[in-house]
């Protein structure tokens, strides 16, 4: 009988983008700031309670973009994955002062490149307003959306 483990793979190496470095090191995250951003300025997470955000972070692979001089977090992305076949990219957020620098695209590229090592069949996401960011790194609309279904809020 084979043994199953739920261990999360090691953090991604640091990726540089201008004044920022992108890392999946969980020790670098600023959960309070991420919660503030998402619960007050992200249409998909408005009002999300801190406890719920903390559980989401704990159960996910998290990426942050940090200013190289100050270490302050400037962008965030979260991935829910089994590390074998599937990943869901969500909660992608770039702090307003860092927008327009290409940081969002660099963050998504870093996530995509990190996930490549697992040979996933599919990485999914949902967006109402950032299609151009994701198309730049290879995401496309679903070819057969009629195959997909959802349970819960849509």
Of the candidate ranges 12-16, 128-132, 141-145, the one whose mean pLDDT is the lowest: 12-16
CB contact set of 66 (below 8 Å; sequence gap of 6+) = 20, 21, 22, 23, 28, 72, 73, 74
Rounded Cα–Cα distance for residues 101 and 64 (Å): 15
**This prediction's pTM:** 0.89
Strand (E) or helix (H) holding 77: strand 73-81
pLDDT higher than threshold 90 for residue 3: no
What local confidence, expressed as pLDDT, does residue 1 receive?
Answer: 42
Residue 12 pLDDT exceeds 70: no
Q: Which two tokens stand for residue 114?
A: 């990190």
Question: Residue 58 CB: number of other CB atoms within 10 A?
Answer: 10
């Amino acid at each position: 009988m084979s043994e199953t483990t739920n261990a999360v793979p090691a953090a991604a190496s640091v990726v540089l983008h201008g004044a920022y470095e992108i890392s999946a090191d969980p020790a670098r995250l600023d959960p309070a700031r991420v919660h503030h951003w998402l619960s007050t300025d992200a249409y998909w997470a408005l009002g999300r309670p801190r406890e719920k955000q903390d559980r989401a972070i704990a159960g996910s692979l998290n990426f942050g973009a940090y200013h190289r001089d100050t270490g302050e977090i400037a962008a965030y992305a979260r991935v829910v994955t089994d590390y074998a076949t599937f990943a869901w990219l969500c909660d992608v957020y770039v702090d307003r002062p860092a927008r327009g620098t290409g940081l969002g695209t660099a963050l998504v590229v870093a996530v995509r490149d990190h996930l490549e090592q697992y040979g996933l069949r599919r990485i999914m996401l949902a967006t109402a307003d950032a299609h151009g960011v994701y198309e730049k790194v290879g995401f496309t609309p679903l070819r057969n959306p009629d195959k997909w279904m959802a349970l819960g809020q849509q």
